A and B are shown apart, each in its own frame.
Chain A
Amino acid sequence: MTDLSKIRNFSIIAHIDHGKSTLADRLLEECDAIDRREMENQILDSMELERERGITIKARAVQLTYHADDGETYALNLIDTPGHVDFNYEVSRSLAACEGAVLVVDASQGVEAQTLANTFLATDAGLEVLPVINKIDLPSARPEEVKAEIEDIICIPAEDAPEISAKNGINIHSVLEMVVRDVPAPKGDRDAPLQALIFDSQYDSYRGVIVYVRIKEGTVRPGMDIQMMATGAVYKVVEVGTMNPLGLTPRDALGAGEVGYITASIKNVADTRVGDTVTTVENPASEALPGYRQVQPMVYSGVYPADGAKYQDLREALEKLKLNDASMSYELESSIALGFGFRCGFLGLLHMEIIQERLEREYNLDLITTAPNVVYRVTKNTGEVLMVDNPLDYPDPMDIQLAEEPFVKASLIAPQEYVGNIMDLATARRGEFKDMVYLDAKRVELHYEIPLNEIIYDFFDALKSRTRGYGSLDYELIGYRPSRLVKLDILLNGDIVDALSFILFADNAYPRARKICEKLKENIPRAQFEIPVQAAIGGKIIARETIKALRKDVLAKCYGGDITRKKKLLEKQKEGKKRMRTFGTVAVPSEAFMAVLKLDED
C-alpha cells in the first residue's frame, strides 16, 4: 500500500474542447506510463464512440507513477469524468473520489459555461480546484486576461496557474508538480471498518464485474467477504489492484486513500451501483458514504429491430450492453405495428442515442425507435395509481382522475446577451421562471421549473443554437405536478399505428399533430392507393394529410437488352420494401419514424 502522503487523487474538468482529454494523454506520457508508440490518442476515451464524439461517456481511472522534483515518488490517480448533463450523477461520484480537480481553461476562449458548472460541481464536492491555462501557444492566447477572469468569476486564485500547451507538450511538468504540491493528500484510517466508494464498474467476460473504487476508510484484501451497502449483495474478493494505462495491476491490498479495482466473481453490474459503498461482512461500517442515489431512467422509448426476424439478436445485444450499463433498463414490449421489441429506459436523450448507436454499430442491427417518453403518473377514478412509461398503457381519459407529469428544476447559464433568447425558449417549453442571478458582469444563471417532457427532446440543442454554443444546462427532478395530458394517436389509412402514439401536453397537441402528419406524408412513399394520414385524440381527428396514390411507376420499354438492368431496378425496389414495416395496408420506411422523432429540427 502506498503511504497516504504519497497519494494524490484528482480529476480534470473543463469546458468542451478546452483540451481535457489531450492534457490527460500528456500527463500519461510525462509519467512514462505509456510509450508514445503505444499511444492511441486519448487513451482514456477508449470507446470508439467516445473518440468520435469527443466526449467521455464512462468514467475511467488510471494510476500514474510520478518522480517529483522533491525526490519523492507519488502515486497519482487520475479519474476521468463523463461530460454531459445526462451523466451528472456519475460525475458527482467520480469527483467524490478525488481531493482535487485540475481546471483546464482555454487561453483564448476564457471561462465558459461548463467551466463554471464543472467548477461548482467540484467545489460542492469539497475539491481543491487548480486552474491551468491551456493552448498558450495560440496567437490569440491572452493568459493574463483569462487568469483575471478566473479570479473574478470563479473566485479561485489563478496567478500561479501553469501556462501550458497540452497539444504540443509545453509545460506539462508544471501541472504534475502543481498536483503534488496543491492537491491535498487523502486522509483515512486503514484499520477502520472498510468504506469504499464505487465510482464505476465494468463487465469483463473472464473476471466478472470489475468494480472501480476509492477506499475512504479501512483496507480491502483478496479473500475478504464484502457487502454492497445499498444492494446488500455479498461477495468474496478475488483480486484487488490498481489501473495502469495498459491494464490492471494486482496488489496485495488497497487501503484508505487509494484508488483501485476489486473483482469478486460478480455476475451483474446492477449489484455494483455507482455511488454505493463497499464494506466488509466481518467488520461492517456503521453507515454508508453520503450521496448515493439509485439512478432511475428518465426517458423511455420502444426499440425494435427494423427486420422483425432480428428480435433475438436485439435481445442478446441488449443483454450484453446491460452488463456494462446498469443505468439502462429494458423489458419486453410488443406492438401491433412493430411486433416484438423492448421498452428501454435511459438517463436522457444522449444516453438513448449512445445506446442506439452502439446497438447499430457494435451489434450490426437496424433499429426502429419510437418517440421518447417520460414517466407519467396517472390516478384513476378507482384510486389506482399508474406510472405510465408507455403510451400504449395510457388509460382511457374517462377513467382518469388526475394526470401528472414530472418536473425538473433547470439551471441555465449563458452570457447575458442571450438571456432574451433563453427566456423565449424556456417559456415556449412551458418553463416557469424562478429567478436569475448574475454570476459576474457578463454571465447569468437562470432557474426555471420545466416539465421534463419539454427538456428531453431537443432542449439542449435548441439552447446551444440560441446561445451560439455558450449556454449550459443542468437539471434535477423535483417531482410530479398535475397537468393536462392527452394521448395522440396516428392513423394510417384508418388504422392506428400504435408505435407512433404518444402522450403530450394538451395545448401542444394541435401543432404537433399537424407537423407529424406533414412529416409522415413526406416520408411515406406513395402506394398503389391513396393513404390518409390522421392524428387523433380519443376518437377525434385533429389533423390530416393525404398521400396521393401512385400514378406512374412503370418501365415503358423492356426488350432483350433491358432485362438485366431493369431486373436490378425492380430488385432494388423490392429490397427497399423489405426494409419497410407494413401497418395494416401501409408500408412505412424506418426513416419515417426517424423523421417523427426529429420533429423540431426545422
Chain B
Amino acid sequence: MALLQRKHKIPLGIYVHVPFCRSKCQYCDFYSLTGKKDCDFEGYLEAVCDHIREAGGQAPNHIVDTVYFGGGTPSFLGGEALAMILTVIRKSFDVSPTAEITFEANPDSVNDRLLRRLRSEGFNRVSLGIQCDNDEILKRLGRPHDYQQAVKAVERIRKKGFRNLSVDLMYGLPGQRLADWEQTLQNVLQLKPEHISCYGLKVEEGTPLYECQEFYNLADDDTQADMYLSAVQILRKHGYRQYEISNFCRKGQVSRHNLKYWNGGEYLGFGPDASSDFGGRRFAIVRDLPAYIEGIRTGGTVLRELQEVAPRERAGEYLMMRLRTVSGIDPAAYEKQHLLPFAPLEKALWKCKELGHAEKTYDGRWHLTPAGFLVSNSIISDLLLIQEQTKPFSNR
C-alpha cells in the first residue's frame, strides 16, 4: 500500500479509555471500575494493546496528531502501563513527532516516578482533576484527595517538565455559593495552568448523587448561570480565552484533541466505552471490561453501536458541535460541505444576536456569546428544526 507523504495525510486523534479509579465520585457517570476484584489491569492492558495493533493497519493514510488518555483515572493505572500503551500506538500508527499527548490524572495518583516515566515517553500534556478548593465539598463529592494535594501535584507536574497543564473545575457544587466559586477560581489561577475547563455540575441519572440530590444544597439554574458568566469574566481578565462552552486557555494552548470532537475531525477510541468517528462511521465499544477483554481475545465484536452517519445528520452535528466553540460556524464552509442553504439559519441567528446570544464576526462567521452558550440547547434545537426544513442545493 502506497503511503502518502505525511503532509498529505489525514489527521487522526486517538482516545484511550482507562476504566479504573481509586474510588467512584458521587456525580460521575463515566464507565469506571473500582476495587481490586474488578480492576483487571493486566487483562485490560493486553486487550487494549491488541486492539490498537489490530486497528493500526486500517489507517495507513492517517497521521496521529493527538493522543488522549481519559478515564476513569489513567494515572491510577500507573506510568508503566500508560507508557506501554503509547508505545504500541506509536508502533501501530504513524504518530506525528509534534503530536499532543495528554493523560488525565487525579492529584492523589500523581507521583514523581509516574511523571518522569510519562514525560520521557513523550507525554506532553496533563489534565488534572482538581474540581474545587474546598476540602469539605471534595469529601462530599467522594473525591479521593484534598486541595493541598492538588497544589502539590501541580508543583510536581511542573518540576517534571510538563509545560502544558490543564485543570478541571466544577461549579454548582453542593453548598457552593457564587463567592466561593469566584474564590476557587482566584486560587486556581495562582497555579498558572495553561488551560482550564469549568463544568457546571449536572446530576446524571444512575449516579449516587442522583439518588440523594435532595439532601444536597445544589445551586439552582440561575445561580449556575451566574457562576458561569462570572467565570468567563474572571478568566478573561486573567488572560484566558474562552474557546468552547466549558473550556478556556492561554493563547494557543487549546486542547487540540478535544477540538477534533467539536470540529468534526476523525478519531479512534480504544478501551471499554470508547467512541470513534472514523471513515464516515460512528461506533462505540461495549461498556463492560470483561466483555471487551473477551471480545478482543476471541476476535469477536466489541462494539455496542455502529452507525453510518448520513449527510443530513452530519449537517446537524456540524451545528450542534461547532456552536459549542467560539470560532463558531462559517456559512461558506457550511454550504459547501453540506449543500444546504445557510440563509434560513442566519435569519434565526440574527434574532439571537438581538437578544445578545450570538455574534457575527467581521469575516462572516457566527458564534454564540457566553449568555448564548448558557441557552445553547434551545438555540441549537431551534436551528436543527429550521435546518430540517431546508432543501439541499441541487448538485452543481
CA–CA, A563 and B384, complex, Å? 15
Instruction: Out of A551, A558, A559, A569, name the residue touching B375 (CB < 8 Å).
Output: A551
The answer to whether A554 touches B200 (Cβ under 8 A) is yes
* Stretch in B108-116, B144-152, B217-225 touching the partner: B217-225
Q: Which A552-594 residues have a C-beta within 8 angstroms of B?
A: 552-561, 563-564, 566-567, 569-571, 573-574, 576-578
The answer to whether A552 touches B224 (Cβ under 8 A) is yes
Contacts of B224 in A (CB 8 A): 552
The answer to whether B375 touches A561 (Cβ under 8 A) is no
The answer to whether A574 touches B221 (Cβ under 8 A) is no
CA–CA, A527 and B321, complex, Å? 22
Q: Does B58 contact A (CB under 8 A)?
A: no
Closest to B357 in A: A528
The answer to whether A550 touches B277 (Cβ under 8 A) is no
The answer to whether B377 touches A573 (Cβ under 8 A) is yes
Contacts of B355 in A (CB 8 A): 528-529
The answer to whether A557 touches B199 (Cβ under 8 A) is yes
The answer to whether B261 touches A554 (Cβ under 8 A) is no
> In the complex where A528-B352, A563-B317 touch, is A554 in contact with B377 (Cβ < 8 A)?
yes
Chain B 203-243, CB-CB to A under 8 Å as 1, else 0, gives 00000000000000000011011001000000000000000
- Would you give the shortest CB distance from B24 to chain A, in whole angstroms? 17
The answer to whether B381 touches A556 (Cβ under 8 A) is no
CA–CA, A569 and B222, complex, Å? 22
> In the complex where A561-B275, A564-B282 touch, is A574 in contact with B378 (Cβ < 8 A)?
no
- Would you give the shortest CB distance from B64 to chain A, in whole angstroms? 15
- Would you give the shortest CB distance from A164 to chain B, in whole angstroms? 56
CA–CA, A529 and B375, complex, Å? 10
- Would you give the shortest CB distance from A493 to chain B, in whole angstroms? 12
CA–CA, A591 and B275, complex, Å? 38
A-B contact pairs, 30 of them (CB 8 A): A528-B357, A528-B378, A550-B375, A550-B378, A551-B222, A552-B200, A552-B224, A553-B375, A553-B377, A555-B245, A555-B376, A559-B70, A559-B261, A560-B15, A560-B275, A560-B276, A561-B269, A561-B284, A563-B275, A563-B317, A564-B282, A567-B320, A569-B377, A570-B380, A570-B381, A573-B378, A574-B384, A574-B385, A577-B381, A577-B382
Instruction: Out of B15, B275, B317, name the residue touching A567 (CB < 8 Å).
Output: B317
Instruction: Out of B15, B199, B320, B374, name the residue touching A553 (CB < 8 Å).
Output: B374
The answer to whether A560 touches B269 (Cβ under 8 A) is yes
The answer to whether A578 touches B282 (Cβ under 8 A) is no
Interface residues of A, Cβ cutoff 8 Å to B: 527-529, 550-561, 563-564, 566-567, 569-571, 573-574, 576-578
The answer to whether A570 touches B320 (Cβ under 8 A) is yes
Chain B 362-396, CB-CB to A under 8 Å as 1, else 0, gives 00000000000111111111101100100000000
Closest to A560 in B: B275
Q: Does B167 contact A (CB under 8 A)?
A: no
Please list the 10 inter-chain residue pairs (A to B) with the smallest Cβ-Cβ separation, ordered nearest first.
A573-B381, A552-B221, A551-B225, A553-B377, A561-B275, A574-B381, A574-B384, A556-B199, A552-B225, A560-B275
CA–CA, A556 and B15, complex, Å? 20
- Would you give the shortest CB distance from B272 to chain A, in whole angstroms? 11
The answer to whether B375 touches A528 (Cβ under 8 A) is yes
CA–CA, A551 and B224, complex, Å? 9
- Would you give the shortest CB distance from B218 to chain A, in whole angstroms? 13
Closest to B260 in A: A560
B interface, size bucket: 35 or more
Q: Does B202 contact A (CB under 8 A)?
A: yes
CA–CA, A566 and B316, complex, Å? 12
The answer to whether B284 touches A564 (Cβ under 8 A) is yes
Contacts of A574 in B (CB 8 A): 381, 384-385, 388
The answer to whether A567 touches B375 (Cβ under 8 A) is no
Contacts of B376 in A (CB 8 A): 553-555
The answer to whether A567 touches B277 (Cβ under 8 A) is no
Contacts of B378 in A (CB 8 A): 527-528, 550, 553, 573
Q: Does B305 contact A (CB under 8 A)?
A: yes
Chain B 262-304, CB-CB to A under 8 Å as 1, else 0, gives 1000010100011111000010100000000000000000000
- Would you give the shortest CB distance from A75 to chain B, in whole angstroms? 63
Closest to A587 in B: B382
- Would you give the shortest CB distance from B180 to chain A, in whole angstroms? 18
Contacts of A567 in B (CB 8 A): 313, 316-317, 320
Chain B 320-346, CB-CB to A under 8 Å as 1, else 0, gives 110010000000000000000000000
Chain B 45-87, CB-CB to A under 8 Å as 1, else 0, gives 0000000000000000000000000100000000000000000
The answer to whether A564 touches B377 (Cβ under 8 A) is no
CA–CA, A128 and B203, complex, Å? 71
> In the complex where A553-B375, A553-B378, A554-B374 touch, is A564 in contact with B246 (Cβ < 8 A)?
no
Q: Does B258 contact A (CB under 8 A)?
A: yes
A554-B245, A558-B262, A567-B320 given; name 18 further pairs at CB < 8 Å: A550-B378, A551-B222, A552-B200, A552-B222, A552-B228, A553-B376, A554-B373, A560-B269, A560-B274, A560-B277, A561-B284, A563-B321, A564-B284, A566-B320, A571-B316, A573-B381, A577-B385, A578-B385
CA–CA, A573 and B307, complex, Å? 22
CA–CA, A474 and B82, complex, Å? 83
CA–CA, A558 and B305, complex, Å? 18
- Would you give the shortest CB distance from B311 to chain A, in whole angstroms? 15
> In the complex where A551-B222, A570-B384 touch, is A561 in contact with B273 (Cβ < 8 A)?
yes
- Would you give the shortest CB distance from A579 to chain B, in whole angstroms? 11
CA–CA, A529 and B356, complex, Å? 10
Contacts of A550 in B (CB 8 A): 375, 378
The answer to whether A555 touches B377 (Cβ under 8 A) is yes
- Would you give the shortest CB distance from A558 to chain B, in whole angstroms? 6
Contacts of A558 in B (CB 8 A): 245, 261-262, 321, 324
CA–CA, A553 and B228, complex, Å? 12
The answer to whether A563 touches B261 (Cβ under 8 A) is yes
CA–CA, A574 and B261, complex, Å? 22
Contacts of A528 in B (CB 8 A): 352, 355, 357, 375, 378-379
